[in-house]
Structure formats: structure tokens, C-alpha cells
């Protein structure tokens, strides 16, 4: 479990069930493999734009089904809590549902939170993919 501060809010990432980790990893593996291979290729160039780096990731993500994208997002948000006054923590999703508890969570924030969960829970797995530079 780790804490992530975004803006003025503090969030806590939790541990994903290993089976859910597997399902997320198999959905994201093509994107991370492409990113690793592309990063290795681009590392030798000096004139690299963010667009060049994200191009293969965006192409793969665009091909993911809505169901797969939603599975990954909701599984990640399900293990996020937001710090409340009085040092209390409240889950971001209402009782594991698909309903957000906080109106201030917009799409960019949602993506950052999901990325934090993926990084914490699957970072070691994706670091082992062939072609990944680290």
C-alpha cells in the first residue's frame, strides 16, 4: 500500500487480488510490450517527442474493447481510498460498485489513480517484458 498525492488530495492504493492482477496484466501486456520495445528504439534517438513514445500505446489502447478498459479501470479504482478529514479513509468506489463516491474525480485523475495501482501491483511483472529498458 502506498500513498499518492494529487493536487490537494491524498489517495491510498491497495493490493489487487492475484487473479485480478492476472486479468489486468493480460489486458495490458500488449501495450506495455509495445511501450518497452518502442522505448528501447527511441532511447538511441535524441529528437524524441512524447507523441512518438505514446503512439504505439495509444494504438493498442484504442483497440481494446470498452469492456476491457472498464475492467481495468474499475478493478484499479476498487482498491483506492481517499483521505478524509480526521485521518479517515474512504473508498473511491461505493461498496465495490461502479459508482464513484467523489464528484471531483474526473477522467485525468481517474487515469492517474489507475496507473498508480497498476504500477504498484504489476510494475515488477511488466519490468520483465522483453525489450523493456530500465
User: pLDDT tens track of the chain, all 134 residues?
Assistant: 889 999 999 999 999 999 999 999 888 877 767 666 555 555 555 555 545 555 666 676 778 889 998 999 999 999 999 999 998 999 999 887 889 999 999 988 998 898 889 888 887 765 554 443 43
Query: What pLDDT sits at residue 53?
Result: 52
Beta-sheet pairing, 80-84 with 2-6: unpaired
Query: Which grid cell is 5?
Result: 498525492
Query: What pLDDT sits at residue 47?
Result: 58
Best CA proximity match to 115, nearest among 52, 28, 49: 28
Best CA proximity match to 122, nearest among 57, 29, 54, 55: 29
Amino acid at each position: 500500500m502506498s500513498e499518492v498525492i494529487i493536487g490537494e488530495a491524498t489517495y491510498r492504493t491497495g493490493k489487487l487480488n492475484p487473479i485480478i492482477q492476472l486479468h489486468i496484466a493480460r489486458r495490458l501486456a500488449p501495450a506495455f510490450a509495445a511501450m518497452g520495445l518502442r522505448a528501447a528504439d527511441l532511447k538511441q534517438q535524441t529528437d524524441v517527442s512524447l507523441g512518438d513514445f505514446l503512439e504505439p500505446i495509444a494504438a493498442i489502447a484504442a483497440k481494446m474493447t470498452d469492456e476491457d478498459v472498464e475492467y481495468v479501470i474499475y478493478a484499479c479504482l476498487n482498491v483506492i481510498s481517499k483521505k478524509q478529514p480526521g485521518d479517515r479513509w474512504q473508498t473511491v468506489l461505493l461498496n465495490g460498485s461502479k459508482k464513484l463516491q467523489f464528484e471531483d474525480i474526473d477522467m485525468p485523475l481517474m487515469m492517474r489513480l489507475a496507473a498508480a495501482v497498476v504500477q504498484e501491483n504489476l510494475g515488477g511483472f511488466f519490468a520483465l517484458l522483453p525489450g523493456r529498458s530500465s
